[in-house]
Structure formats: structure tokens, C-alpha cells
Amino acid sequence: LKENNARHMWHPMAHPADSLANPPDIIVEGEGVEIVDVDGHRTVDAVGGLWNVNLGYSCQPVKDAIAAQLNKLPYYSTFRGTSNDAVIELSAMLRDFFAPDGLSRAFFTSGGSDSVEIALRLARQYHKIRGEAGRVKFLSLKKGYHGTHTLGASVNGNANFRTQYEPLMPGCYHIPAPYTYRNPFNETDPARLAQFCLAALEDEIRFQGAETIAAFIMEPVLGAGGVIPPHESFMPGVRSLCDKYGILLIADEVITAFGRTGSWSGSRHWGVKPEFMCTAKAITNGYFPFGAVMVADGVAEVFENDKSGKGAIGSGYTYSGHPVGAAAAIACLKETERLQVKNNAAARGAELYEGLLKLADKHEAIGDVRGGHGLMCALELVSDRTSKTPVNKQVIGKVHRVTYENGVMVRVSGNNIIMSPPLVLSQQNVQTILSALDAGFEAIA
Ligand code: PMP
């Protein structure tokens, strides 16, 4: 298996020159919050698949729902007004769940990149229907990640995810993120930094001309960029600026929706109502590729009441509203609610964050600890705390490897170690993660 993996499987994001790529771990089983590799080595999956396996690997109701739907109706399109019973039930459920946020309609997709792409397109279309066709630009945060499609990649804030594909979409501009550890303002106070970043956003809006801007897109807590939670004033401040200048707010909640931050969604966590909310990942616990863009009541009405013909959506996905995905999502959302996993995410997330802060007291290589908002945490590794020089790949690779040998899978992104474990994590699992990381850092001391 290992040989065939190396020979036949392209691991495009893990270049052979990367110390972590050789060999990639081959996972053959999952049970509860644990995964088992081809050598029989069992680890707590502190990555939660890829931020998506919120309910762990043994969620029987979701597995049963998928099997039952496959036997009943394995596929039918929702493309040209046709529908299926599973997706209708799911739409009603989502509407109820998101009613407090004023998000009344769902556009179904096959994953996070699709959700982002559709939200950005719908934002432009919304302005066109309303006679503001000049609103085509997008603003986003540096360090933000919004998937792999062309519009999404264009608003990605990390140049590494953009430059190799350029030219991407023109008209996308990136604002400094409220990243306290490193920012162009040299500001270490999160509240003041939030104000600087909001001022930068307003400057950019004025510079571009508000009448040219369609939407601002942001993750409520930046994920792939290294788990960067903003100060609590930031997202409400963005909302106010969007209102002031007639700009739509797109919350990219591909990671944060359905409990990860300890709240039902990241937007609700910060008390903000966006016009679009992009979801995917945990909506089916990672068991089926699926996503949904939730659309605000007022925006949906503009599309539905349009008499000019501009309100029809020009193209859609073959797999929009896939009945098996919808059945998986229904079961998943019921379990998410029944188990109230957001409460466990908040409690275990606080314990994990506290434990990581203690690890930082002990290990010099930990320059920054981020978390405190549910089960999303990161450690930023530096070779010197004063200069904040990022550690090299070999060093972080060693921490990763030794942590794995000690029973925990974490994720490496640049010089960050990222954790997004299943939300059904136990107190014992938190301790396992902390002691495995401790061993990982001992190995580079
Ligand atoms: N947005 C965010 C915030 C994400 O984290 C991701 C994936 N990590 C995406 C969009 C893209 O989702 P997908 O990989 O399902 O296309």
C-alpha cells in the first residue's frame, strides 16, 4: 500500500522536498475521535479530518441515513426547478436553525469552494438586479482562505494560494487581518488593532469607491491562515462599515458553522448577521461532499421579486441538493443539536487553550498561542521569540512527527501547528493532545 501510494497517488500539496511528505500517513480506519494508520498506529485526530469531522468517525445516524437514502433515491438533480424530498426537509431545517440570523434560503453546493464561489457571484448579481451594476469588486482579509475556485482564490488573503495561478480575477483587494502577533501597525493590543484594521478597511472602501464594491468576505475566525480569532469588536465593526457603504457581508463559515467556535455559527458568536453564510464541511460531518450558502431574507426577496429576468441564477451544480448529501446533513444536524456539541466545543476548547498556554511557558519555540473560541487552536513556532523568526520545515516537521508517534495527529500549516479536533472530544482526549505535543516539543528542545 505504501509503495502504491508513493507511485500512483499524487500528493500535490505535499511536495517530496517537504520533510512531512515522506511518506504521507495512510489512514485505514476511524473510530470515535481516533484514526488508525496502515501500520496499526492509533491516534487522536486533533485535525478532525479537515476541520469537518465534528461528530467523530462513528456517527451511526449519519451512516444509516446515507445508506437508507442510497437505497431509496441515490440521485436526483435540483437544477431546473426539480427537487427531492430529502433536500426539501433539509431546507426547512436550515431555515429554522438560521431564523435568528435572518437567513431564510439555502443554495446547495458540493463543498466549501463551491459555496464561496456562489456567494460571491450572487453578491454581484444582487447589485445588478438592483441597478447597481458597477458594484463588482470584492474586499477580504489578508490571511483569509476561501477555497480553490477562481473567485475564491482571488479573495484568498495568503499570496501563496494566489500567485502561482495569476492572473486571477481583477478587482479583489486584501485588508490587514486583526492578527495580534504580527501586523503592519506593530500593535499588540487586540482592541486597538481591530480599530486599525477597520480604519484600513474604510480607507480601502473610500479609495476604491464604495459604489464599485460588491461584498466583503471574511472568516469569523481565520482558519487555514493559522487560527486567528479577531477581537470581539472586529466583525461587528465590519458589519457597520458594510451597512454604511451598501456593501454585502459574506461570512465564510465553511469551518466555523455548526458549533466549532462554541456557538451555533461564527457570525452568531460575534453577534453579526451577514447577507450570505457559506457552509460545507461539518454539515455532513465530512461523510459526504456537500455545502449550503444561507442567504438573508432581504437578499432572497430581491432575487425572488425580480421581474426583469436578472433574478434567475444562470448556472448551477449537477450535485446541488444531492439527496444523499441532504439525508446525511439532516442526520448530522439532528445529532449536532441532540448532543449540543457546541457546548462541549466551548468547554473542551477552553481546557485545550489553557493547556497550550502552559505548554508555551515551558517551550521557547512556541511564540504565540491562539484559541479561546471553541475547538480551533494554533501554536505558532519561532526559532527566537524576540525576532519572531519562523522555525524551518524540519523543526516543525519533527514536532509533528513526534506528536504523531505519541498518539495525536495535528496539522502543520507554515510555521503553525493547527488543531480542530472533533467537537465530541473528551477531557481525557484534551490531556492526550497536550501530553503528545509536550513530547513533540521536548524532541526539538
Ligand atoms: N473556505 C474556508 C474558510 C475553508 O477553510 C475551506 C477549506 N478548508 C474552503 C472555503 C474550501 O472548502 P472545500 O475544500 O470544501 O472546497
Residues 397-410: tens digit of each pLDDT: 999 999 999 999 99
Closest of 177, 175, 176, 151 to residue 162, by C-alpha: 151
219 CB near ligand 1 (under 6 Å): yes
DSSP state, 222?
B
Mean pLDDT, range 276-293, rounded to an integer: 98
Residue nearest to atom 14 of ligand 1 (CA): 112
Compute the average pLDDT of residues 285-302. Answer: 97
What are the grid coordinates assigned to 167, written together?
492572473
DSSP-assigned letter for residue 392: P
Alpha carbon distances (Å) from 168 to 36, 83, 123, 125, 164: 40, 34, 18, 20, 10
Task: Calculate how far, in angstroms, residue 254's C-alpha sits from the geometric centre of ligand 1.
Answer: 6
Q: Is 147 in the pocket of ligand 1 (CB under 6 A)?
A: yes
Question: Is any atom of ligand 1 closer than 6 Å to the C-beta of 266?
Answer: no
> What is the atom index within ligand 1 of the atom nearest the CA of 280?
15
Do the interacting molecules here have an ipTM over 0.95?
yes
Question: What is the arithmetic mean of pLDDT over 197-219?
Answer: 98
Mean pLDDT of 256-275: 98
Considering only CA atoms, which residue is closest to atom 6 of ligand 1?
147
Atom of ligand 1 nearest to the CA of 252: 3
Distance from C-alpha of 159 to C-alpha of 326, rounded to nearest angstrom: 35
Best mutation site among 255, 278, 288 for ligand 1, i.e. most ligand atoms within 8 A of its Cβ?
A: 255
> pLDDT tens across 414-436, in order?
999 999 999 999 999 999 999 99
Check whether 36 has a pLDDT greater than 90: yes
Measured from the CB, is residue 378 less than 6 Å from ligand 1?
Answer: no
Sheet architecture: strand order including 172-175: 103-109, 291-296, 276-279, 248-252, 213-218, 137-141, 172-175
- Report CA(217)–ligand 1 centroid distance (Å): 13
Question: Is 0.95 surpassed by the pTM of this model?
Answer: yes
Could you tell me the distance, in angstroms and rounded to a whole number, from the CA of residue 218 to the centre of ligand 1? 12
Task: Report the mean per-residue pLDDT for the chain.
Answer: 95
C-alpha cell at 284: 455532513
224 lines ligand 1 (CB under 6 A): yes
Expressed in angstroms and rounded, the spacing between residue 110 Cα and the centre of ligand 1 is: 11
- Residue 24: what pLDDT? 61
Reference 118, options 295, 333, 310; nearest CA is: 295
φ and ψ at 312, to 5 degrees? -75, 140
> Average pLDDT for residues 251-271, to the nearest whole number?
98
Cα 136 to averaged position of ligand 1 atoms, centre (Å): 22
Report domain extents, the chain.
Answer: 2-55+340-442, 63-338
Q: Is 223 in the pocket of ligand 1 (CB under 6 A)?
A: yes
Topology of domain 2-55+340-442 in CATH is Aspartate Aminotransferase, domain 1 (3.90.1150)
Residue among 302, 293, 291, 375 nearest 341 (CA): 375
Q: Tens digit of pLDDT for each residue in 357-373?
A: 999 999 999 999 999 99
Q: Which atom of ligand 1 is nearest to the CA of 281?
A: 15
Q: Is the CB of 116 under 6 A from ligand 1?
A: yes
For ligand 1, mutation pick of 254, 293, 418 (most atoms within 8 Å of CB): 254
Q: Which amino acid is at 246?
A: G
Tell me, what amino acid is at 84? N
- The CATH number assigned to the domain with range 63-338 reads 3.40.640.10
Helix (H, G, I), strand (E, B) or coil at 424: coil
Query: What does the alpha-carbon distance between residue 364 and residue 245 come to, in Å, rounded to a whole number?
Result: 45
Which pLDDT band, with edges at 50, 70 and 90, does 314 fall under? confident
Residue 358 phi/psi, 5° resolution? Answer: -65, -40
**pLDDT tens per residue across span 315-339:** 789 999 999 999 999 999 999 999 9
Q: What is the pLDDT of residue 22?
A: 46
Whole-angstrom Cα distance, residue 123 to residue 113? 16
Segment 40-52 shows an average pLDDT of 97
Asked whether the beta carbons of 259 and 336 are under 8 A apart, the reply is: yes
Ordered DSSP codes for 13-32: TS-TTSGGGSSPP-EEEEET
What CA–CA distances, in Å, run from 97 to 138, 170, 342, 344? 28, 36, 14, 19
Tell how strand 408-409 and strand 248-252 pair up: unpaired
Torsion sign over Cα 48, 53, 55, 56: negative
CA 306 / ligand 1 centre spacing (Å): 31
CA of 223 to the centre of ligand 1 (A): 9
pLDDT beyond 50 at 19: no
CA distance 236 to 318: 36
For ligand 1, atom 12: residue with the closest CA: 112
Q: Is the CB of 146 under 6 A from ligand 1?
A: yes
Ligand 1 midpoint to CA 308 (Å): 34
Count Cα neighbours of 288 within 13 Å in the Cβ-side half-sphere: 30
Stretch 223-247: mean pLDDT, rounded?
98
228 secondary structure, DSSP code: B
